[in-house]
Amino acid sequence: MKREIINDLVKWKNRSDRKPLILLGARQVGKTFILKEFGRRYYKNTAYINCDSNALVKDLFKADYDIDRILLAIGSITGESIIPGETLIILDEIQELHRGLNALKYFCENAPQYHVAVAGSLLGITLHQGESYPVGKVNTIEMHPMTFSEFLLAKGRDKMVDLLRQKQWDVIASLSSLYTQILREYYFVGGMPEAVKTFIATNDAVKVREVQKEILLAYDKDISKHAPANEAVRINQVWKSIPAQLAKENRKFIYGVVRSGARAKDYEVALQWLLDAGLVHMVERVRTPAMPLKCYADFASFKLFMLDCGLLGAMSDTPPALMLVPNEMKESKGQFTENYVCTQLHAISNMGVYYYSKENSTQEVDFVVQHDTLIAAIEVKSEENLRSKSLKAFHSDNPEVKCLRASMLDYIEQEWMTNVPLYGIAAYWE
């Protein structure tokens, strides 16, 4: 399947100041696949090692960090000649290899001519016990689940992606029913590669949901494996509360939904673990929509979204038919739509994502984003609802801020607001 992140990997390959690469991302977002595909397409050969399942590398860095010895061992294990600039060395599940992260520092300092890329559970890498992260000695790229555009590509709809990238809104409008149909499929399937692959191969909603449930189970096991015993329960409580949190009208995270009487200090570590694992997106409130948004963030108020809208449906046991059929979910469809928009925005480079609510008022805007030097307010509508009272009030208070409404309507430029179709919300920023 085509992944747009491969363009970032090519840029890394061609950097004059290239360092060993850590590909970060939640489990099962496709890190192994894309690194192997990258090696196949852009190198003469690839030396791939799975550090979790290959016993021969268990003590690879135990004795020392002698690069000549290490390269000889990697070549012997993989059966590949290690040639600078022509061979991609991939160390997968690097968090399972003792002193593996530390070794990247020595590749950077003593053998920069070799192309080394590592991948693993984001949780395992960022919280690896007993080892310091090689700050300043590595390049990092973060990988997300497949975006809606990548979902279109997986379905063989390359021309539809081209239209979005070219912003040919008039032509796109003539195909709006098709875009909308595929978007509803994406709400259900989401962007986890295995779920997408199963959907494309079988067109079977039951099989897709089985894959999603397996992924959720793998995340539960990951938490049990890496989390301290005294925190695992709280992490799971927060994780499992997300569907209920998003079902509320304003989506704001409330500790009382996790457990009656719960307080912020009880769950700070649990929230950070989920963020470190890449399983959630925290969208903080901003008090003032001014540059830079981060300076106006209210860290005590936030929304918590899942990394993938398909997994949200699986965790909440939402019947597939309700997600695939227009208007069947009524108000509850809003949580899936907002989660979808959140994931698409977070996959965009240099995009800061927040939400806005006015002090002592019910006025709230779903998202306020900063993309390079532009700030925009985004109101999300799950269908074709034209009422935008909060956004209109926001515009009156902040006329200098660009206002967008994301809905199922076609692209429309209005005097004070632009309606962007939900299926084009990411393309709008390209």
pLDDT digits (tens, 9 = 90+) for 399-416: 999 999 999 999 999 999
pLDDT of residue 126: 56
What's the CATH fold of domain 6-142? Rossmann fold (3.40.50)
In this prediction, residue 363 has a pLDDT band, given cuts at 50, 70 and 90, of confident
Tell which residue, 38, 44, 36, has the closest CA to residue 8. Answer: 38
**What pLDDT is stored for residue 90 in this prediction?**
97
Task: Assess whether pLDDT exceeds 60 at residue 330.
Answer: no
What does the pLDDT read at residue 99?
Answer: 84
Residue 131 binned pLDDT confidence (cut-offs 50, 70, 90): low
Query: What predicted TM-score, i.e. pTM, was given to this entire model?
Result: 0.93
Confidence at residue 121, expressed as pLDDT on a 0 to 100 scale: 67
> Does residue 238 or residue 121 have the better pLDDT?
238
Average pLDDT (325-350) is 82
Mean pLDDT rounded to a whole number for the chain: 92
pLDDT of residue 321: 84
Residue with tokens 């979204």: 305
pLDDT at 194: 98
Q: What is the mean pLDDT of residues 169-186?
A: 96
Chain region(s) in the chain for CATH 3.40.50.300: 6-142
Q: Is 1 helix (H, G, I), strand (E, B) or coil?
A: coil
User: Which residue reads 């709006």 in tokens?
Assistant: 176
Within 10 Å of residue 242's Cβ, how many Cβ atoms? 25
**Per-residue pLDDT for 328 more than 60?**
no
pLDDT confidence bin for 300, thresholds 50/70/90: very high
Model confidence at 227: pLDDT above 90? no
The stretch 389-404 carries a mean pLDDT of 94
Write down the pLDDT at residue 327.
59
Per-residue model confidence (pLDDT) at position 390: 87
For residue range 35-67, list pLDDT tens digits in order: 999 999 999 999 999 998 888 888 898 888 999
Q: Which residues contact 267 (CB under 8 A, 6 or more apart)?
A: 234, 237, 238, 255, 258
Q: Residue 429 pLDDT more than 70?
A: yes
Contacts of residue 104, defined as CB under 8 A and 6 or more positions apart, other chains included, come to 19, 20, 22, 116, 118, 134, 137, 138
Q: Looking at this protein, which amino acid is placed at residue 313?
A: G
Between CA 116 and CA 122, with CA 119 as vertex, the angle to 5 degrees is 140
- Predicted pLDDT at 386: 66
Strand order, beta sheet including 115-119: 45-50, 87-92, 115-119, 21-24, 139-142
* H or E stretch covering 88: strand 87-92
Length of the chain: 430
